[in-house]
Amino acid sequence: ILNVEQSPQSLHVQEGDSTNFTCSFPSSNFYALHWYRWETAKSPEALFVMTLNGDEKKKGRISATLNTKEGYSYLYIKGSQPEDSATYLCAFGGGSNYKLTFGKGTLLTVNP
Amino acid sequence: GEEVAQTPKHLVRGEGQKAKLYCAPIKGHSYVFWYQQVLKNEFKFLISFQNENVFDETGMPKERFSAKCLPNSPCSLEIQATKLEDSAVYFCASSPRPTNEKLFFGSGTQLSVL
C-alpha cells in the first residue's frame, strides 16, 4: 500500500496571507506528482503535474515544488483570496502500475 | 465532448439492489479511471481502462463490483447487491495517457445506499 500524506489536514488563513502545504510520498519508483484543487460538489481540477526532481511550476498566485529524492512536494499560495478556499489534493504516480494514489487533502479556508 | 460526463448525479438504492453508474470520457482520451470517495477527501482507486481493455483493476472489490468500457458507449461501473458501505461519491476521470498527464474529472455520482 502506497502512503501519500498531506499536511495540514485543514488550514484557516486571512485574505492576503500566503500559505503552503505539504505532500509526502514514496521516494522510489516515482513517475509523477499531481496537484488538484477541489471544491465540494464540483470536479477536481488539475493544477500541476510534475515529473522531474527539482521541478517548480507556477500558475498565477499558486506554485509548487518537487523533491523526488526525499519524497515531498510543497504547494504555495501567495496572497490568498476567498476564492482559493477549496481542498487541495496531491496524487502520487508510481510503482509498477500507473494508478494515482491520492492523499486525503488539505482543506483551505480563506476568511475575507 | 470536452468534459467528462457522469450520470446520474445522485442515485439512491436500497441495500441489496443493483446500482449502475455511467461515465463518458473526453473524446480522444484513451484512459478512464474510476475512484471511490467514501471518507471525506479520500479518493480510493478502483479500476482503470485503456480504451475497452482493463488496464489496472487492483482496487476493485471483485465480488460485487464490475466495470466496462465498450466502443461507442459510455463506460459503466456496476455494483450488484449494494451494501451500506458502498455509499460514496464515485468519480470518473479520463486522460490521454496514464500518470504523466493530468486527469480530467467528472463531477461524480453520489450513491446513497439505504
What confidence tens digit (pLDDT) does each residue in A29-50 have? 888 999 999 998 899 999 999 9
Cell, residue A62: 499558486
Q: What is the DSSP letter of A112?
A: -
- At residue B30, φ and ψ (nearest 5 deg) are -85, -20
Q: Cα–Cα distance between B39 and B82 in angstroms, integer?
A: 17
CA–CA separation, A86 and A75 (whole Å): 13
> What's the alpha-carbon Rg for chain A, to the nearest Å?
14
Q: Does A55 contact B at CB distance below 8 Å?
A: no
Low-confidence ranges of chain B (pLDDT < 70): 1, 41, 99
Is residue A1 less than 8 Å (CB to CB) from chain B? Answer: no
Q: Please, which pLDDT band fits residue A108 given cuts at 50, 70 and 90?
A: very high
> How far apart are the C-alpha atoms of A5 and A66, rounded to whole Å?
14
pLDDT attached to residue A28: 84
Alpha-carbon dihedral sign for residues A93, A97, A98, A103 = negative
Please list the helix, strand and coil fractions of chain A in percent, rounded to the nearest 5, in that order: 5, 55, 40
What is residue A36's predicted lDDT score, i.e. its pLDDT? Answer: 97
Does any CB of chain A come closer than 8 Å to the CB of residue B43? yes
pLDDT tens, residue by residue, A46-61: 999 999 999 999 999 9
Measure B18 CA to nearest chain A CA, in Å: 24
- C-alpha cell of residue B84: 451500506
Q: Residue B88: what pLDDT?
A: 95
d(CA B114, CA B85): 10
